[in-house]
Structure 1
Amino acid sequence: MSAARRAPHSALAGALQELDRRTRTMRPRRRAADLTRPEPDPAGPQGPPPHVLPRVVPAAVVVTDEESRTVWQYPTPFGLSPVVTAVVEGDGLVLAVLEEVTARAVTVRVWSLAPRRALAGPGVRVHLTASAPS
């Protein structure tokens, strides 16, 4: 027996009955004449793209040193500290920690979390991107 039938006067039962009713009814089909006309674009007519230069997001792949740390200096400095993403390449449970983010560089340290928490060591590759804050 469904929940809607067990307690017919509850609010949940009414919602379940309405949902059941809606799933059983068919939507009206489009007529053949409507199929030949394209549907209007909800965003409106598309004109030429605005004359805006694409934003280039600096990215790099860096390698950790003996202290499991790496420093990446951006190709061009930012006005403020940028938004930085770091993704560690490799197997296992590892974590990239942003130790310091400035307008000119970011310092990243990589930790291994399994089997125990410890520095990941040298030679770990980290993929970094930096973009201006919005």
Structure 2
Amino acid sequence: MAVRGSATRRVPGNAMAGVLRDLNRQARVMKRRRDPDAPTEPMEPPRPAEPRRAPQLWSGPTATVATTDLFGQVRWDFPLPFEVAPVVSALAVADFGGPGDAVTAAILSVDEESVTVQVSIIGPGYVRSAREGVGVHLTAVRSTPVELG
């Protein structure tokens, strides 16, 4: 803690000196206090809270982890429909395949109520559907209409 006349206050051009001086002044000034015997203004009673309505359509982001079927596809039905087709992200996670193989997730269709994803294994010279049980991380976020032009 700084003391009056300390080195911090004596150095010309020291920005900290001004801060310490203001703190010292604020500590010495007594704040105005309200008279406890003064009459108070009557407060209006609080209004009752309006009941909240559940939204008819899904407006927040949602996510899930789904697994592929026999054909390497995933269909995810959203918990509640969106106003318009949402922005969807799909990430396939697989720990099999040979060196140089890649696992991809392609979004086949998206509408207000569901998304369909195809998971494929891509290797040197071939592309095949993923086997049953491959995990796919799916995220859907409400999209906002954009005017182009």
Check if 1:106 corresponds to 2:115: yes
Does structure 1 retain, via aligned residues, the 8 Å contact 2:81–2:113? yes
Scaled by the length of structure 1, what TM-score is found?
0.58
Structure 1: how far apart are the matches of 2:66 and 2:109? Answer: 16
Pairwise CA RMSD: 2.5
Give % identity.
33
Structure 2: stretches of 5+ with no match in the other structure: 1-11, 20-58, 96-100, 145-149
Does structure 1 retain, via aligned residues, the 8 Å contact 2:60–2:142? no
**Structure with more helix by fraction:** 1
Structure 2: how far apart are the matches of 1:33 and 1:109? Answer: 66
Pair 1:35–1:118, CA change in 2 (3 A)? farther
Structure 2: how far apart are the matches of 1:37 and 1:60? Answer: 56
Once the two structures are superposed, what CA deviation does each residue of 1:9-68 show, in whole Å capped at 9, x if it has no partner? xxxxxxxxxxxxxxxxxxxxxx98346889xxxxxxxxxxxxxxxx74110000000000
- The structure 2 residue matched to 1:62, chosen from 59, 66, 73, is 66
Kindly provide the amino acid, as one letter, of the partner of residue 133 in structure 1: S
Tell me the residue number matched to 1:33.
14
Report the alpha carbon displacement of residue 107 of structure 1 after superposing the two structures with TM: 0.4
User: Where do 4+ consecutive residues of structure 1 move more than 2 Å?
Assistant: 31-38
Kindly provide the amino acid, as one letter, of the partner of residue 78 in structure 1: F
Report the alpha carbon displacement of residue 117 of structure 1 after superposing the two structures with TM: 1.1
Q: Which one has the largest radius of gyration?
A: 2
- The structure 2 residue matched to 1:90, chosen from 77, 91, 94, is 94
Structure 1: stretches of 5+ with no match in the other structure: 1-30, 39-54
How many pairs were matched up? 88
Tell me the residue number matched to 1:126.
136
Does structure 1 retain, via aligned residues, the 8 Å contact 2:86–2:140? yes
